[in-house]
Structure 1
């Protein structure tokens, strides 16, 4: 079968899996404020023809059902990926997504809706864990950050696209208990299965991860994939041979311990990087970003927006999210991972504390909520309302080029090949565990502690800044095998002061071969840390 070798095409197809997560976010955030959703799944009664919708606790459970399923899916993906391969794991996730979306689209009641969201979540767990692994293992070091960051960009596009589909669907039917139409939510919930079908079909034409093939002793296929993707059809390309040798050495080293389990990540030689990967994903949730995405209509309702005006104003942040992710795609490998995380944490902390100050000092408490929605527990107007909206937009603009893409790029770079599938699955499961908790926490929190919700997330951003500054090493510009050597350094891995490397890997073997220092037959003996003078090039 024909296989695509262009790395950008491979990444563009694979990250459609991230788009599924984006579809889920906006399929809920754009719909929970519509009359059709609130009336069809109503639990709080009808007042003046307006429905209150599910209770705050029930809505938290509905929202949390998807990340709850994702937590299970992420953990299971480690086994699926190691057994069937990265490519097939992604394809299995597509099938699961179509099943879940069908159930959601046909939902007759809240339990059926929750069941479908749990199944969809299982799919998102697989995709979110294994798409970054797949791209990391097939991408060249100089482009790895950029290509994995496409995962986050796909998420932002998924959010934006389905949000506007949902916004358009919101005009179908009336806005009261007697005139609403279920097409308002059934159309977007049905459409969201389309990208999964496309992803499944397109994945048939992509190669398997060369590192997974090597791990299964399928060296001829591994060589063919490296030739296709990195050698432009030349099996004797110096970089192809260099990388093949690098992979072979690492597989030989790891073969001494063939059995892999999650418990291995708790061993002394692995626990440091396991904790870094897990907390990268935990902190990405504790920034408060996904809370903003799921419940943004609540925030804008506090600022005085209602109905379709609320949906339209909320959509601006999704446009900001898409546009502001682009700088990371261009410069993330140059900025490095650490600096990007530190700058993002500092800026998001400022906007969260500012929002807490605005709501705490100028907000008016609304007993029972606004429009029958208890979570909309405060009301602002005038300049304070504009300030709340501005800081919300600035928060999204700070997250989009920093923790958004880095949280997907960083974890797959930390682990050796033998445990990478399960290690990234564990880290991603932590993301979904906290996503689940926060999805259930926020509606009741807006009811009970109101403006202090922003204070909580501001403190989390301060903690993540300190943690990343002290303990997160830089991995930009290194091959995955060189990152492994870095962590095996007996002198330890410092957090403070580590910098991106000047990327030499892709040029070292070619340059020395051009100079006649080595021949192709001697390529296997190259020392990865050989310090002989060679031409260096920055990416």
Structure 2
């Protein structure tokens, strides 16, 4: 039995390594693009620790009252999300007008400018009120770059990745998000040890803000490198067939002109040689039928559900939550938060390699959401029973802290990377940039709502009610994944409309719960037949079959 298991593991590792070698260029490109996730994660992980530091509160003259301080914390956190929302809104136009690659370069430059403005706050004789306004402006500018990148990166990765690794590569963005959080958690912990719990030296928070420039520089250098070509699908859409052919050769590490010509013909067949439809025409096209509209709204829906599972409320205010559960001392809370970040990175990487393609998107979302729901309800129940005396129930308190770590394991499996995968692959090709912009606008809008509401909810809703609310939202997310989301793994982007029938849609979604009924074998037969038809006939005579143009 053991030898059989060892043989299966060895075969899996060998197959995976061969796949990595085969798609080495695509992996390199996707991982370099995923570096923009560091921008997102770094600020999310950094700001929660800084808000509790004496130096930050002194430099910006934050009030000492619990309710007033909670309001200021919510404002400081949510200004970044406001900028991110505007950056995501700009993705309605920029990626289709100037291209995916140039949009990412612009995002990195804007993020660097925002970092400079934040780092230079409270310099010289600047008053705390003026410094706070400058901080708001800097966070909004930096947020614009982060929001633009968060919309463009999943679209870019989905368009450059082969179908066999599209889910895994799309998750790389989330992997770098949680990696940025983890690094920021430990930066906060190191700064707290260096400056102490009561230090009022502004160097502490200024170093933390200044270090945000590192991920922006890394992302910029990766994008301008020759390893990140422009999206071949965007090039075809804008009539640059030869550039698209060259981009496909580089991404697929192939000198086989027949293979590359087949890929190019498949993309051209899907787009029918159409140019960028423009924002107004894209909106009209999105409304042509009910299923096209739904496919364009799926990114917004899954991002809305992701935010209301409470994960970013936990990310931003985890030191405060650990104190509520009985961990005392700022350094202790920051260290526990750092371990929380390590668990997040480890689980995201593990599930990216072992679950997203093997279990499929649908089951990852269901299992992960159920784990989150259970953990949040457990924490809420503990706080409801123990109340303010949670520190006295040490055994149960430590078990509840473990539930917080289990919560993030569930998030890593479900409503983490798979959300970005589903968002980037479900929309029609011609409308993908529009749909992803709507999705990331939803992400940042409700990210801001959660960030703004969480400190007030923790302060004003007694007996763990905040966690009951988030847990119930996680259960609603699971129900959505069961009844309204089909399985999309294993299908090329050009044929994903096969997963969205106009009749019997809910029945199809329920059938996808069973591997036997998932119709994967049927899908593979259809895909192979249509790919063969495209290879044989499309270059000379155009598409050999009728298909949904979206």
Are residues 1:104 and 2:125 paired?
Answer: no
Taking the aligned partners of 1:188 and 1:487, their CA distance within structure 2 comes to: 46
Are residues 1:280 and 2:321 paired?
Answer: no
Are residues 1:14 and 2:14 paired?
Answer: no
Are residues 1:208 and 2:220 paired?
Answer: no
Q: What runs of 5+ residues in structure 2 fail to find an aligned partner?
A: 1-22, 123-130, 513-517
Correspondence list, 1:363-378, <5 A:
363-364=387-388
1:512 to 1:260, Cα distance in 2 relative to 1, 3 A: closer
The DSSP-based 3-state class of the residue aligned with 1:55 is helix
Are residues 1:252 and 2:234 paired?
Answer: no
Taking the aligned partners of 1:142 and 1:403, their CA distance within structure 2 comes to: 21
Report the equivalent of 1:418. 430
Taking the aligned partners of 2:282 and 2:543, their CA distance within structure 1 comes to: 32
Report the equivalent of 1:186. 206
Taking the aligned partners of 1:461 and 1:358, their CA distance within structure 2 comes to: 18
Contact 2:178 2:341 in 1 (8 A): yes
Are residues 1:92 and 2:115 paired?
Answer: no
The DSSP-based 3-state class of the residue aligned with 1:465 is helix
The DSSP-based 3-state class of the residue aligned with 2:51 is coil
Contact 1:364 1:380 in 2 (8 A): no
Contact 1:358 1:387 in 2 (8 A): no
TM-score by length of 1: 0.87
1:128 to 1:360, Cα distance in 2 relative to 1, 3 A: same
Among 38, 46, 62, which residue is 2:57 paired with? 38
1:491 to 1:309, Cα distance in 2 relative to 1, 3 A: closer
Among 368, 376, 391, which residue is 1:344 paired with? 368
Report the equivalent of 2:330. 307
1:439 to 1:500, Cα distance in 2 relative to 1, 3 A: farther
1:80 to 1:133, Cα distance in 2 relative to 1, 3 A: same
Contact 2:238 2:276 in 1 (8 A): no
The DSSP-based 3-state class of the residue aligned with 1:142 is coil
Q: Measure how far apart 1:214 and its partner are.
A: 0.6
Taking the aligned partners of 1:100 and 1:53, their CA distance within structure 2 comes to: 29
Taking the aligned partners of 1:275 and 1:511, their CA distance within structure 2 comes to: 28
TM-score by length of 2: 0.85
Taking the aligned partners of 2:469 and 2:67, their CA distance within structure 1 comes to: 27
1:360 to 1:305, Cα distance in 2 relative to 1, 3 A: same
CA shift digits 1:287-342 (9 cap, x unpaired)? 11111110000011111321211111111110000000123221311211111111
Are residues 1:440 and 2:464 paired?
Answer: no
CA shift digits 1:353-389 (9 cap, x unpaired)? 1000000001227xxxxxxxxxxxx766412321221
Are residues 1:29 and 2:48 paired?
Answer: yes
Q: Measure how far apart 1:257 and its partner are.
A: 6.1
Are residues 1:393 and 2:416 paired?
Answer: no
Taking the aligned partners of 2:364 and 2:340, their CA distance within structure 1 comes to: 21
Report the equivalent of 2:263. 243
CA shift digits 1:98-125 (9 cap, x unpaired)? 0111111112222221211111111111
Contact 2:269 2:543 in 1 (8 A): no
Contact 2:185 2:337 in 1 (8 A): no
- Which structure is higher in helix share? 2
Q: Measure how far apart 1:9 and its partner are.
A: 0.8
Q: Measure how far apart 1:266 and its partner are.
A: 4.3
Taking the aligned partners of 2:434 and 2:527, their CA distance within structure 1 comes to: 31
The DSSP-based 3-state class of the residue aligned with 2:281 is coil
Taking the aligned partners of 1:246 and 1:128, their CA distance within structure 2 comes to: 27
Are residues 1:497 and 2:519 paired?
Answer: no
Among 392, 395, 417, which residue is 1:383 paired with? 395
1:316 to 1:334, Cα distance in 2 relative to 1, 3 A: same
Q: Measure how far apart 1:268 and its partner are.
A: 2.8
Report the equivalent of 1:166. 188
Report the equivalent of 2:16. none
Q: What runs of 5+ residues in structure 1 fail to find an aligned partner?
A: 46-50, 366-377, 530-539
1:324 to 1:506, Cα distance in 2 relative to 1, 3 A: farther
Contact 2:483 2:510 in 1 (8 A): yes
Cα RMSD (Å): 2.8
Contact 2:537 2:544 in 1 (8 A): no
Report the equivalent of 2:3. none
Taking the aligned partners of 1:418 and 1:130, their CA distance within structure 2 comes to: 14
Taking the aligned partners of 2:71 and 2:519, their CA distance within structure 1 comes to: 45
Q: Measure how far apart 1:454 and its partner are.
A: 0.3
1:521 to 1:16, Cα distance in 2 relative to 1, 3 A: closer
Contact 2:48 2:317 in 1 (8 A): yes
CA shift digits 1:390-413 (9 cap, x unpaired)? 111110111012210011110111
